[in-house]
């Protein structure tokens, strides 16, 4: 029996919630924005009146107001968006217990076993759309298909407030002409490589020999060809499924631009402390350290290094991240945001090969010190004990990354 998969995408989610809360704004261009005082002054999302005027996610607020002078900018209220997202999920779960989130505003639903109770997949999609509109006052676009990747193409195909069915009978007609960027996990860099070999559409990607794709993209080339052919077999996880944590990271848009290596060193220590602390809470260590950089022109990159021995030492994580940074960045521009991530996690109790080298002894001492710091902070608060270096710059050192942990779950390809 062929699967029946829905991808439900709440239209312009943050902006839709704000327009529902403020009915007087429904016929005006509205954008939800970050906090300019915290240097997050960008458009997070815009409603469907503002979008045709050129207002886009990621655009600076001042740029958006230049092209749309009547734009109403509202601050983000994440607590409210999470609340509405949970209500939407409760609606989905009345039709299936296989509901997999893809961010706050998107979910996959496997309704294969629900059609006998609630009708055809399209009928179930209509019921969900109607209930979300009536109960929450917002709209959704729903893709109806036979796998997750194609269902998402369906929800993206027509917006807002639409239902698109993509089946075996109309798959090539709808999907093959779409630009290759529309395929999930084809980002700007991958799209540029595909266009470099004249693969502009999903259809052309599907027809391209696999050996050509793997020679240009590596293993991901074969995966993308599978997706383009509509052969995705990844399951929709059950609602109570607990994902394995594959990495732990933290990043910050800094209160001022970083202009030298000392600034970067301070921030990396601060972020590495929070990442290492979280790993100790989870009882894991990392085999890979990654550093992420975004400069004042919003150009970003990341670099990573495999470690010889797993670690949860904040000092070692910061040191490796700083080495990666120094080898990769040459101060063409100041730095706006920075992040650290520990990846390829293993159990902290996993056996490792011990040695008598000085580096290994240092690591063990630093991990013991970090554990003591964790206990002191649990008892007396985060700022009860801090590295002296943080006091050299009260503005940067005053950041509290402990409140801003980002735990990165297992990715799509990890199952």
β-strand pairing of 163-165 with 140-145: parallel
Written as six digits, the tokens of 133 are: 């509109």
pLDDT band at residue 379 using 50, 70 and 90 as cut-offs: confident
Rounded CA gap, 114 and 22, in Å?
36
pLDDT band at residue 403 using 50, 70 and 90 as cut-offs: low
Predicted confidence (pLDDT) per residue in 157-209, tens digit: 999 999 999 999 999 999 999 999 999 889 888 899 999 999 999 999 999 99
Q: Which residue has the higher pLDDT, 253 or 338?
A: 338
Which residues are identified as catalytic? Answer: 106
pTM of the model: 0.73
Rounded CA gap, 331 and 317, in Å?
22
Predicted confidence (pLDDT) per residue in 321-366, tens digit: 999 999 999 898 899 889 999 999 988 876 666 555 556 667 778 8
Peptide bond into 160 cis (omega under 30): yes
Written as six digits, the tokens of 388 are: 């002296």
Peptide bond into 52 cis (omega under 30): no
Among residues 146, 152, 147, 213, which one has the least CA distance to residue 185? 152
pLDDT of 412? 37
pLDDT band at residue 292 using 50, 70 and 90 as cut-offs: very high
Q: Which domains does the chain have, with CATH numbers?
A: 13-79 (3.40.1170.60), 176-228 (1.10.150.20), 245-414 (3.30.1490.100)
| 268: DSSP letter | H
Among residues 41, 42, 43, 60, which one has the least CA distance to residue 51? 43
Q: Is the pLDDT of residue 396 over 50?
A: yes
Predicted confidence (pLDDT) per residue in 172-181, tens digit: 999 999 999 9
Phi then psi for 97, rounded to 5 degrees?
-100, 10
Q: Is the pLDDT of residue 30 over 70?
A: yes
Question: If you average pLDDT over every residue of the chain, what do you get?
Answer: 88
């Amino acid at each position: 029996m062929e699967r029946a998969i829905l991808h439900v995408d709440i239209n312009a989610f943050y902006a839709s919630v704000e327009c529902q809360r403020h009915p007087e704004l429904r016929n005006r261009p509205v954008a939800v924005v970050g906090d300019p005082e915290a240097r997050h002054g960008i458009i997070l999302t815009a409603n469907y009146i503002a979008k045709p005027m050129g207002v886009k996610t990621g655009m600076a607020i001042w740029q958006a107001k230049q092209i749309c002078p009547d734009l109403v900018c509202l601050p983000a209220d994440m607590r409210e968006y999470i609340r509405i997202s949970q209500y939407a999920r409760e609606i989905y779960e009345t039709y299936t217990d296989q509901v997999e989130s893809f961010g706050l505003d998107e979910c996959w639903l496997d309704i294969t076993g629900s059609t006998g109770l609630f009708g055809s997949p399209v009928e179930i999609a209509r019921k969900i759309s109607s209930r979300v509109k009536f109960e929450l006052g917002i709209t959704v676009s729903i893709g109806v298909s036979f796998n997750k990747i194609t269902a998402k193409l369906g929800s993206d195909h027509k917006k807002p407030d639409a239902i698109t069915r993509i089946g075996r009978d109309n798959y090539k007609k709808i999907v093959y002409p779409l630009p290759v960027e529309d395929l999930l996990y084809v980002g700007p860099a991958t799209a540029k490589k595909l266009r470099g070999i004249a693969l502009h559409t999903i259809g052309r990607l599907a027809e391209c020999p696999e050996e050509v794709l793997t020679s240009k993209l590596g293993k991901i080339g074969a995966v993308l060809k599978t997706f383009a052919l509509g052969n995705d077999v990844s399951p929709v996880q059950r609602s109570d499924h607990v994902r394995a944590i594959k990495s732990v990271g933290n990043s910050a848009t800094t209160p001022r631009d970083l202009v030298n290596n000392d600034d970067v060193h301070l921030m990396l220590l601060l972020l590495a402390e929070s990442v290492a602390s979280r790993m100790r809470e989870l009882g894991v260590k990392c085999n890979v350290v990654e550093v992420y950089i975004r400069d004042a022109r919003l150009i970003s990159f990341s670099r990573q290094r495999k470690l010889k021995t797993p670690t949860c030492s904040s000092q070692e994580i910061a040191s490796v991240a700083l080495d990666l940074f120094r080898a990769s960045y040459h101060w063409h521009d100041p730095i706006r945001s920075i992040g650290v991530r520990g990846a390829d996690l293993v159990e902290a109790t996993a056996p490792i090969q011990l040695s008598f080298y000085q580096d290994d002894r240092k690591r063990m001492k630093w991990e013991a010190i970090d554990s003591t710091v964790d206990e002191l902070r649990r008892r007396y608060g985060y700022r009860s004990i801090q590295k002296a270096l943080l006091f050299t710059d009260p503005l940067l050192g005053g950041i509290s990354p402990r409140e801003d942990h980002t735990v990165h779950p297992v990715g799509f390809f990890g199952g």
